[in-house]
Amino acid sequence: MSESSGRNIEDLHLKSLTKKFGEVAAVDDLTLTIPAGSFFALLGASGCGKTTTLRMVAGLEDPTSGNIVIGDKDITHLRAFQRPVNTVFQSYALFPHLDIFENVAFGLRRRKVKDVDQKVNAMLELVELGPMARRKPSQLSGGQQQRVAVARALINEPDVLLLDEPLGALDLKLRRQMQIELKRIQVEVGTTFVHVTHDQEEAMTMADTVAVMNAGRIEQMGHPADIYELPQTVFVANFLGQSNLFAGSRTGQSGEVIMVDSHGMKFSVLSSRNSARSDEIIVGIRPEKIVVRDLVDRDNVPSGHNILEGRVTDVSYTGVSTQYVVETSWGQDVTVFEQNVIVGDRCEVGDQVILHWSPEHTFGLAGGETLLHKTAQVLAAGV
């Protein structure tokens, strides 16, 4: 694939892209730039519009309005077979009547490209399927079929490679392996990959940029670590990893620090880490950022930390970490992950404990109690 390095890869722009099925907008006014050569993940629960977005880019679905542009070329009204875009389908969609070699050669033959043999062999080498060239798809394992699907799309050197839940049908171990494999191939060929998935771990391990989609819109987009550390909506905070969220209201500010009252507790949120515009603020903290201590350790809490008291209702030891569920005085469950580095006794069910965490890890989100309940319901139904 040496010739691909000299190729001019260009950005993919979606401009006010909208797709309506009847009255329902599956994709709602989506504007997005996917940088050339990036590994981009569209992450969302089923029915959030991520697959519809992908199908519109592939040309398998017509947008109701909006444009799809690669570089400065508008491809919105090109037919699927005229677009410089290829897809790895969820079910692979390998041609059962053709062998592996002919499956991979399919796109080249349609475009009357020269040196088909050499290119197909090189591509089969890349996905480590050289000896399988004359087998039929049905004679291959799921992981091998998956690699054929990647090879069949990638050999055409598309400007953008679309992957529609490509690892969904594989078992956990194979999925891990293929995540690394796909990432390796992407780095090697340098093509823009747009990866649709509902698996947040998969999105975070593979992608440079993750866009979290919900109800046809993008909730938040950025580097996986940035989104994780500083989620900007309740949906993102819950969908990407777990969060403990406390609805409250702003009581004051001193310098950088905003004070929030929730259920009578005082929390500090840094103004740089607060995305709420009004006085209604949801205070959030990731479970692994919380320190859990015996009540007697209250004096050792670093000053400025947010503090919460509660009673341990569940302890589960998972090897790497211990997960606690702590019930607050107003009955909310708080999840805490603690790395198993402590020597000696751990907290037990029934213990009164003190939880504390740094404002540096705390984030503020827009919304109140009702939004928390609504999002919880959506997530419970959708995932």
Catalog residues that contact another protein under the rule CB under 8 A: 58-60, 79-82, 85-87, 89, 91, 93-97, 106-107, 110-111, 136, 138, 152-153, 156
Taking the least distance from each CB to another protein, the nearer of 113 and 257 is: 113
Q: What's the token pair of residue 227?
A: 């989104």
Q: Can you list the alpha helix ranges (DSSP code H) found in the chain?
A: 2-5, 50-58, 100-110, 116-126, 142-154, 172-189, 200-206, 224-229, 234-239, 369-382
- Closest CB to another protein among residues 82, 272: 82
Q: Compute the least distance from the CB of residue 93 to another protein, in Å.
A: 4
185-208 per-residue burial string, b: 16 or more CB within 10 A, e: under 16 = bbeebebbbbbbbbbbebbbebbe
Are 25 and 17 spatial neighbours (Cβ–Cβ below 8 Å)? no
Taking the complex as a whole, the smallest distance from the CB of residue 54 to another protein amounts, in Å, to: 11
The residue (of 30 and 153) whose beta carbon lies closer to another protein is 153
Between CA 295 and CA 292 the distance in angstroms is 9
Amino acid at 243: S
Q: What are phi and psi of 99, to 5 degrees?
A: -80, 175
* Closest distance of CB 47 from another protein, Å: 19
DSSP bridge pairs for 259 = 252, 268
Q: List alpha helices for 80-221, DSSP H.
A: 100-110, 116-126, 142-154, 172-189, 200-206
Comparing CB distances to another protein, the nearer of 1 and 247 is: 1
Q: At residue 191, what is the residue type?
A: T
Nearest-approach distance from CB 61 to another protein, in angstroms: 10
* C-beta of 137 vs 216, nearer to another protein: 137
The DSSP string of 6-27 is: TS----EEEEEEEEEETTEEEE
Burial of 70 (C-beta count, 10 Å sphere; 0-12/13-18/19+): buried
In terms of CB distance, is 97 or 277 closer to another protein?
97
Question: Please, what is the minimum distance in Å from the beta carbon of residue 69 to another protein?
Answer: 19
Structure tokens belonging to residue 318:
């998972």
CB of 300 to another protein, least distance (A): 57
Q: How far is the CB of 111 from another protein (least distance, A)?
A: 5
CB 269 within 8 A of CB 282: no
Q: How far is the CB of 154 from another protein (least distance, A)?
A: 11
- Nearer to another protein among residue 58 and residue 336 (C-beta): 58
Q: Contact at 8 Å (CB) between 69 and 31?
A: no
Q: Between residues 82 and 352, which has the closer beta carbon with respect to another protein?
A: 82
For residues 103 and 150, is the Cβ–Cβ distance under 8 A? no
Sole residue written with tokens 């515009």: 277
State the minimum distance, in angstroms, from the CB of residue 94 to another protein.
8
Nearer to another protein, 86 or 238 (CB): 86
Q: In this complex, which beta carbon is closest to another protein, that of residue 55 or of residue 356?
A: 55
Residues 6+ apart with CB under 8 A from 381: none
Q: How far apart are CA 298 and CA 26, in angstroms?
A: 50
Q: State the nearest-atom distance from the C-beta of 107 to another protein, in Å.
A: 4
